Amino acid sequence: MTSYERVRRAIEFACPDRVPLFFDRLGHSDIAGSGYRTLAPISQQEAREKHLTEWVDEWGAIWNLNPGASHFVDIGYIARASLADYSLLGKYPFPDPDDPRRYENIESTLQRHTDKYIQSCWFTLFEQAWQIRGGMGNLFIDMYDNPHQLTELLTIISQFAVRVITNLHDFAGRIHGIWIGDDWGTQSSTFVSIGQFRRFFKPHYKKIIDAAHRGGMHVWLHSDGKINDFIEEFIDIGLDVINLEQPLLVGIDDISARYQGRIAFCPIIDIQKTLITGSQAEIEAQAKELIQKWGTPQGGIIGYGYEPYEALGIDEERARFALNAWRKYGSYDASAAR
C-alpha cells in the first residue's frame, strides 16, 4: 500500500494497513508538503539570517523579533498592524493569490514524492484576522464595535484562501489535502462563544472547506486549547481531519465519547505533559490509548510528531520515543486483536 493510499484510507475510514505516520524530520512520514510559497516582503527566516530585528509578513504586518533566538521558540510579536484603521480596508494592497511565484515549486516537489500523501498551504482565518488588526484584543472589540467591517475583513481572507485552493485544482489528484491552522482555545475554554463562532467565522471556514472538496482535497485543521465543543461545529461543515496536540487537556475519554469515528484525528503525544516529562512507558501507553479511543478498526487516526521538538526542550531521543510508540501499536491487525 502506498503512503498516499494509507493516509487516504485512514482519513476516510477505509481500512489502511497501519496507522499512517507524520514524522518528517525523523525520516518516517507518509505525508509530504507541496512546495507552496508564501510571499512575505521580508520573511522571518531571511530576517534571522541577516540578524535583523524585524520581519514583514505577506499581509503587511511588521513583527519584531529577537535575532538571537531560534524560530522554533520565538516568532516575534506584532509591532505594527497592517490594518490598524478600518478606513484603509478598501485601499490596502492585500496579497495576490494568483501570483505565479506561489506555485512555481509545486511540480518539482510532486515529482519527488510520487507515492506520498501531499499536503499544501497553511491558511489561518481567526489568527490572520487578529494579526492584520494588530492583536487579538482588537479583534474581540471588533465583534461588538465593528461587526460589519470584521465580516468584510474575514471575507477578504477567506476569498484569498478559496482562490489559492482553486488554483491548486490544476494539481487535482496530486495534491491531496490543505491545512488550516487556528488556535481557538485557552487552557479552559475557547476564545469566543459558539454563537460568535457561528456568526463570524463558521461561514468562511465552510467556503474554504467546500473549495478544497471541489478539488478532491481533504481539509486538516490544527488547533490548540480546549476546543471540545468547537469540534462539532467543524464536523458540521465537513472538516476531514483535526490535529490536537494536548490530548490530556481536551480529555481523551471526552473526545472519544463525542467524536470517535466521526472525524479523523491527527494527534500528538501530549506536548504539555507526557512528551516532556513522561517516561517511555507513559509515552507508549498514551499512543496506544489514542489509537484505541480516537481511532477505529477502520482507521480515523494518523500519528504525528511534534517536529520542532527543540521548542519543547526535548531532544531527538524523546521525540523517537513517540515515533516508536506509534509504530509499535499502529498495526490494524494488532488493533483487532486487542
Q: What is the pLDDT of residues 227-267, one digit of tens each?
A: 999 999 999 999 999 999 999 999 999 999 999 999 999 99
CA distance readout (Å), 40 to 32, 62, 258: 22, 10, 40
Interval 279-300 mean pLDDT:
96
Residue 69 confidence (pLDDT) above 70: no
The arithmetic mean of pLDDT across residues 70-79, rounded, is 72
pLDDT of residue 35: 87
- Is residue 337's pLDDT more than 90? no
What average pLDDT score do residues 7-19 get? Answer: 97
Q: What is the pLDDT of residue 207?
A: 98
User: For 200-212, how does the pLDDT look when each residue is reduced to its tens digit (9 = 90+)?
Assistant: 999 999 999 999 9
Encoded amino acid at 204, one letter: H
Q: Taking residues 52-78, what's their average pLDDT?
A: 79
Distances from the Cα of 71 to the Cα of 88, 308, 315, angstroms? 31, 9, 17
Is the pTM value of this prediction over 0.85?
A: yes
pLDDT given at position 266: 97
> Higher-confidence residue: 167 or 65?
167
Residue 40 sits at the vertex; the CA angle it makes with 37 and 45, to the nearest 5 degrees, is 85
Tell me the C-alpha distance between 184 and 192, whole Å.
8
- pLDDT score of 75 more than 80: no
Are the CB atoms for 315 and 292 separated by under 8 Å?
no
Query: 241, 271 in Cβ contact below 8 A?
Result: no
Kindly indicate the confidence band of residue 334, based on its pLDDT and cuts at 50, 70 and 90: very low
User: What integer pLDDT is reported at residue 66 of this predicted model?
Assistant: 77
Name the residue among 119, 106, 115 with its Cα closest to residue 241.
119
Q: What pLDDT shows up at residue 336?
A: 41
What is the C-alpha radius of gyration for the chain, rounded to an integer number of angstroms?
Answer: 20
- Helix residue ranges, H only, 88-146: 106-112, 126-133, 136-145
- Tell whether the model's pLDDT for residue 333 goes beyond 70: no
> Which tens digits make up the pLDDT trace of 122-145?
889 999 999 999 999 999 999 999
pLDDT above 60 for 184: yes
Q: For the chain, what is the mean pLDDT?
A: 92
- CB burial class (10 A; 0-12, 13-18, 19+) of residue 243? buried
In whole angstroms, how far apart are CA 8 and each of 30, 148, 176, 270? Answer: 10, 39, 8, 25
Mean pLDDT, range 171-177, rounded to an integer: 95
The domains located in the chain, with CATH, are 3-39+93-332 (3.20.20.210), 40-92 (no CATH)
The per-residue pLDDT for 30 is: 96
Once rounded to an integer, what is the mean pLDDT over residues 333-338?
43
Is the predicted pLDDT of residue 121 greater than 90, yes or no?
Answer: no
Tracing cell 481572507 back to the chain, one arrives at 157
What's the pLDDT band for 70 if we cut at 50, 70, 90?
low
Which of helix, strand or coil describes residue 118? strand
